[in-house]
Structure formats: C-alpha cells, structure tokens
Amino acid sequence: MTQNFTRDELVARLVRAGELEVSGEDVAEAATYFDTEKFRFHGPDGFESDYAGLDSYFAAVRDAFDDRSIRRGIVVAEGDRIACQTWIEGTFVREFTQSPAGSLPPNGERVVFDLINIFRFDDQGRLVEEWVRIDNRELLRQLGAEGR
C-alpha cells in the first residue's frame, strides 16, 4: 500500500474519483484524487493521454450520455496498484465526440463501457497512472457504428 493509506482507503478514493468523473458534480474535487501534473493514461490501441485529456474525455461522455452510472466489480490490490472491473453506463442521447471512431450521432440506446483498469497511486493517495482495456468493437456496436 502507499505510505499513508490502507487498501480500503485507496479503493474508496478510486470509487469516489470515478463517481465524480462520470457525474461531473464537482470537477475541482475530482482533480484532488489525481496528481494532475504527472498523471498518465494508457488506453487501447496505444492511446496515451495526460490528466487534461482524461478530463476532456469524461466531459465528452457527460455531454453525450444521460442517466450515467459507474460501478466496480472485482478489485485486486497490491502495493500501490489496484486492478478492477469497471462498468460505465449511460443513454446515448447527444453526439459523442470522443468515440474510438471519432464523432458519432446518438442512437438513444443504453451503452455499457465494460472496462478492465489498473491504477497506480502515489504516496499521497493520488492517481498517477491508469491502464485501460476495453473491447472497442463491442463499444462501437453499441454506439451504432459497427464496422467503423
């Protein structure tokens, strides 16, 4: 575990950070769960980003999807890392500008982002790195853009 946090505390911080990013209820609080200067995101197909890029992605998700929710499944913690299943859901009602295929028009359907994440924390309990795996083909099918 990181220096000052138990496994349960880190999991609680991870859950809260995800809830804030998905809901958008308090962007300033969400940022406190990250080292916004050092954070690095490693996504599918070699996609790399910093905290500003992650924040921009979640803003696009919030803009495109209503009735959003996030839940975590199996959580495994070792040292400064937590791996978990994550499901982000929402109803696709407005253009999604940051899909894997670029901007897509809404289809009115419920969409589930089915993710496997690995997170790394610093000694202050802030997220400094994230690796994500998602089946982009399945996501694009749900978004109505199969084959793109």
Which amino acid is located at 127 in the chain? L
Task: Place 148 in a pLDDT band, splitting at 50, 70 and 90.
Answer: low
Query: Would you state the pLDDT for residue 3?
Result: 64
pLDDT tens digits, one per residue of 12-60? 999 999 999 999 999 899 999 999 999 999 999 889 999 999 999 999 9
pLDDT tens digits, one per residue of 118-146? 999 999 999 999 999 999 999 999 999 97
30-55 per-residue burial string, b: 16 or more CB within 10 A, e: under 16:
bbebbbbeebbbebeeeeebebebbb
pLDDT tens digits, one per residue of 101-116? 999 999 999 999 999 9
The model's pTM is 0.92
Residue at token pair 């495109």: 64
Q: What ranges do the domains of the chain cover?
A: 7-142
Q: What is the CATH number of domain 7-142?
A: 3.10.450.50
Bigger pLDDT: 29 vs 4 = 29
